[in-house]
Amino acid sequence: MSQQDIQTVRTSHGKEVKVHTHLFINNEFVPGHGPLIETINPATEEVICAVHSADESDVDTAVQAAKLCYRSTYRKLAPSEKGRLLNKLADLMERDKDEIATLDALDNGKAFTIARDVDVTDSISCFRYYAGWADKIHGKTIDTTFDKMCYTRHEPLGVVGAVIPWNYPTMMAVWKFAPALAAGNTIVMKTSELTPLPLYKFAELVKEAGFPAGAVNIITGYGHTTGAFLTGHHDISKMAFTGSTLTARKIMESSAQSNIKKLQLELGGKSAQIVCADADLASAAVWASGGIFNNHGQSCNAGSRILVQEDVFDQFMALFIAEAKKIVIGDPFAEDTFQGPQISKGQFEKILNYIKIGQEEGAVLAYGGKRWGDKGYYIEPTVFTHCKNNFRIMQEEIFGPVVAISTFKTVEEAIEMANDSIYGLAGGVYTKDLDTAVTVSNELQAGTVWVNCFDVFDQSTPFGGYKQSGFGKELGKYALHEYTQVKVVKIQRQGL
Ligand code: NAD
């Protein structure tokens, strides 16, 4: 495979950035032997550059590098040293924040300011949070009988594999790197073939931070080849996956057919936001709008269904549409842009098709519904009302800036509608009544419930789904359980 590693690429506002295009294995950028993959700028529909992809032998090389590093070096490092490395990496990300955010915005289409102030800033916090945990991962001593004692060890799993999607190219990676490395594992990560660039910049920083060669390996490639080789590898002890439910099924099969590796699956969603009549409607409209339109609707937890209590429907809709109208769409590098293009032509067409389906099903198109501009994969924020629960736009994940709105009479009815979904990632309720807030929070079949807010994250709080939204938690102390296994040691006291 020919092509120099470092390429110069240009953003839509004319800034030049140098990017790596080779695989990162054993702290070196090395050519891959899979096909070259062209990555597209979704704002212009033009090719940014081509990157190398990993074939089966490259995947194996990366896994063996991670395995050797785990056995010979990383597991022997003092926990405090692992914490120091994570903090150093956070410092380097802070230094190069603008460059990482530029690549996130260029490759993914998200607004540069949001990539910098949310995605990259939160990723830095995530490393710092887990740096603090690295030397606080302890077992317990357990006295069983007078003549025996027992203790537990929270041991790393070994080599962890990870496959991530394109919607938060840096943040989804860091949510896995940080707890995995803090807990003492080494890792091989496959980035999405749609957004390979930001993590190669990150790889440079991994090396500069001083991580031992092989602790972090970053490869890219198509899912059905590179991804499948990784998930089927016998030396990977766990796969952390974020992506679609469809792909998760394949990964579960692959785990079953190979070495029954542990799985952690963060999948899709169709989260409901319930607006009660007693809510502060102006505030609810602001949060609910962000809840669906943040990241162009390309969030697994997007509040893509809104259920409004009948009595306040007209009032809420006026406020909500006013919020949708405020959304500034445009060049990801323009200072005031909130919404950039969708990630790809495929996603763009899929979303426009769902808008057509919504109209055919009989929903009322209250706002938007069209392509925005004539270049780039932009779609207007789109609002459907009068949706019935069995409509496809109420049940299927659209993963775009499209919201389906319906009404309810009683809170019990709202809970039933919200739970009528194969997904269970998140949900929200807007109310001033404490009893309603607690009842809805307890009854929603969802891994996260937001009350009078939506899409609020913190490194210390766990995130993960119920039902077909997956299992296992990212973030918080809970994520450490996903990257450790518990050993029990039992000792007989002699000479008593
Ligand atoms: P996807 O499942 O097609 O791809 C995700 C990743 O899986 C990519 O890196 C892809 O190359 C890889 N992949 C595809 N087939 C594979 C296979 N057979 N074996 C191994 N890897 C494979 O999803 P997508 O289109 O990138 O992302 C959109 C979907 O992901 C949506 O449904 C969304 O809800 C979900 N998602 C969930 C979360 C979450 O945190 N729960 C976050 C982001 C996206």
Q: Quote the CA–CA distance of 160 and 177 in Å, as a whole number.
A: 9
Residue 132, pLDDT score: 98
Amino acid code (one letter) for 269: G
Residues having CB within 6 Å of any atom of ligand 1: 163-167, 190, 192-193, 222-224, 227-228, 231, 242-244, 247, 250-251, 266-269, 300, 397, 399, 425
Q: Atom 16 (ligand 1): residue with closest C-alpha? A: 223
Q: Quote the CA–CA distance of 82 and 70 in Å, as a whole number.
A: 13
> Which residues make Cβ contacts (< 8 Å) with residue 383, sequence separation at least 6?
320, 321, 324, 365, 366, 367, 368, 403, 405
To the query of whether residue 396 is one of the catalytic residues in this protein, the response is no
Opening angle at CA 386, ends 380 and 391, nearest 5:
85
Amino acid code (one letter) for 491: I
Q: Atom 30 (ligand 1): residue with closest C-alpha? A: 243
The model's pTM is: 0.96
Name the one residue in this structure whose structure tokens are 């540069």: 112
Percentage of the chain with pLDDT > 70? 100
> Which residues make Cβ contacts (< 8 Å) with residue 183, sequence separation at least 6?
134, 137, 154, 156, 157, 480, 483, 484
Higher pLDDT among residues 244 and 494, named by residue: 244
Residue 494, pLDDT score: 87
Alpha-carbon distance values, 365 to 318, 393, 404, 467 (Å): 14, 12, 9, 30
Opening angle at CA 90, ends 86 and 96, nearest 5:
145
Percentage of the chain with pLDDT > 90? 96
Residue 3 has pLDDT above 90, yes or no: no
Residue pair 102/110 in contact (Cβ under 8 Å)? The answer is no
Residue 365, pLDDT score: 98
Residue pair 294/111 in contact (Cβ under 8 Å)? The answer is no
Nearest Cα neighbor of 103 from 223, 203, 213 is 203
How far is C-alpha 333 from the chain's CA centre?
22
Which letter, b or e, does each residue of 237-253 get, where b requires 16 or more Cβ atoms within 10 Å of its Cβ?
A: bbbbbbbbbebbebbee
Q: Atom 13 (ligand 1): residue with closest C-alpha? A: 223
Nearest Cα neighbor of 276 from 456, 433, 442 is 433
Averaged pLDDT for residues 326-346: 97
The residue annotated as part of the active site, out of 193, 204, 266, 482, is 266
Amino acid code (one letter) for 400: G
Q: How many whole angstroms from 244 Cα to the centroid of ligand 1?
A: 4
Residue 473, pLDDT score: 98
Q: Atom 26 (ligand 1): residue with closest C-alpha? A: 165
Higher pLDDT among residues 426 and 496, named by residue: 426
3-state secondary structure of 471: strand
231 band by pLDDT with thresholds 50, 70 and 90: very high
Q: For 58-113, what is each residue's pLDDT tens digit?
A: 999 999 999 999 999 999 999 999 999 999 999 999 999 999 999 999 999 999 99
Helix, strand, coil percentages, rounded to 5, for the chain: 40, 25, 35
Closest atom, ligand 1, to C-alpha of 243: 30
Q: How many whole angstroms from 243 Cα to the centroid of ligand 1?
A: 3
Averaged pLDDT for residues 413-437: 98
Best probe residue, ligand 1, of 163, 225, 257, 345 (max atoms within 8 Å of C-beta): 163
425 band by pLDDT with thresholds 50, 70 and 90: very high
Residue 95, pLDDT score: 98
2 band by pLDDT with thresholds 50, 70 and 90: low
Closest atom, ligand 1, to C-alpha of 268: 34
Q: For 262-290, what is each residue's pLDDT tens digit?
A: 999 999 999 999 999 999 999 999 999 99
Residue 1 has pLDDT above 60, yes or no: no
Q: For 177-205, what is each residue's pLDDT tens digit?
A: 999 999 999 999 999 999 999 999 999 99
Averaged pLDDT for residues 291-299: 98
390 band by pLDDT with thresholds 50, 70 and 90: very high
3-state secondary structure of 381: coil
Helical pair 281-293 and 313-326, crossing angle rounded to 10 deg = 50
